[in-house]
Amino acid sequence: MPEKYTPGYSSNATNFMANRSLDTHGAFFKPYLRPGMKLLDCGCGPGAIALGLAKAIFPGILTGIDREVSQIQIAAESAFAQSVSNAEFLQGNIYALPFADNSFDTIFSHALFEHLQEPAQALRELWRVLKSGGIVGLRSPDWGGFLIAPSTPELQKAFSYYKWLQQQNGGNPDVGRELRALLRQAGFTNIKTSASYECYEPLTLSTATEYLALRIEASAEVDRAVEKGWTDSQSITAMSRALREWSQHPDGFFAAAWCEVVGYKI
C-alpha cells in the first residue's frame, strides 16, 4: 500500500498548519538553535515554523523541503512577504533527500513522522545528510494522549475513525511515544525527550474540529471505508455532526498531546 498524506492540502488544512509558529510549536528546539547554523526543516508545509527557525539562526541558512509543491510555494511567498532572506524552500522527499552527505548542522521535523510508513528509512536519510556532531529534533502528536470533553460515543468514534484513516494511509497516529526508540535505533545518542499539550481554545474558534469533520467527509476515503465495512454513510454524517456540535459546546475542551525528541549524531 503506497503511503498517503492524510490531511491533504485543502485551504482548511493548509491554514491549520499556517497558524503555527516556532514559539507555539517548536519551543522545545529553540535552545539548540545558534546564529549561523545550516538547518534543514523536513516536511515544512506552508513554512510557518520554518520562518521562525530561519530568524533564529540568521545569518545561517534555513532549507525547507516538502513533498508537495503547493506547500513550497506558500512557504516561499511567506518568506518574501516577511522579508526573510535566509530561507530557501525546495520540493523533496524525506526518503531520498536531494542533498550531499554531511550537509546540515541541524535537522528539524514537525508533524511529519506520524504520516510516514517507513520512519526508520527516513531517519537513515536524516543521518546521512546531518554532519557529525549535528542535532536532530522531531515533534509528533500521539493521539493516545488526546483529551476531549464533553465526550460522546459519536465523538469518540470520530477520533477513532480518523486514526483508522491515518493508519490505512500508512501512518501511525501514536508515533509520538515511539520517537525516542526510533532515534536510538537509528544511531542517535544523548537523546532528550519531552512532551506538551496544545489546547485548542476557545474550541468555537478552532479550525481543528472543522478540519477533522472535513477529512471524515472526504468522499474517496468514505467510499473506501464503507467498502471495507468499517462504517456507513449514516455514521459518517453522525461523526461529522458530533464534531461540529462539539465545536459549539460552551464547555468544549480539546487538548492534543505532542511528543518531542532531540538526539545527536556523534
Ligand X SMILES: C[S@@+](CC[C@H](N)C(=O)[O-])C[C@H]1O[C@@H](n2cnc3c(N)ncnc32)[C@H](O)[C@@H]1O
Residues that bind ligand X (CB under 6 A): 5, 7, 17, 20, 43-45, 48-49, 66-68, 71, 93-95, 110-112, 115
| 95 vs 200 by CB, closer to ligand X | 95
Least Å from the CB of residue 170 to ligand X: 10
Contact (CB, 8 A) for 102 and 93: no
Least Å from the CB of residue 45 to ligand X: 3
Least Å from the CB of residue 152 to ligand X: 27
Dihedral angle computed from the Cα positions of residues 185, 189, 194 and 195, in that order, rounded to the nearest 10 degrees? -20
| 68 vs 217 by CB, closer to ligand X | 68
| 126 vs 222 by CB, closer to ligand X | 126
| 126 vs 243 by CB, closer to ligand X | 126
Least Å from the CB of residue 188 to ligand X: 19
| 17 vs 186 by CB, closer to ligand X | 17
Quote the distance between the C-alpha of residue 141 and its chain's center: 8
- Which residue number places its CB atom closest to ligand X? 45
Least Å from the CB of residue 248 to ligand X: 26
| 242 vs 258 by CB, closer to ligand X | 258
Least Å from the CB of residue 66 to ligand X: 5
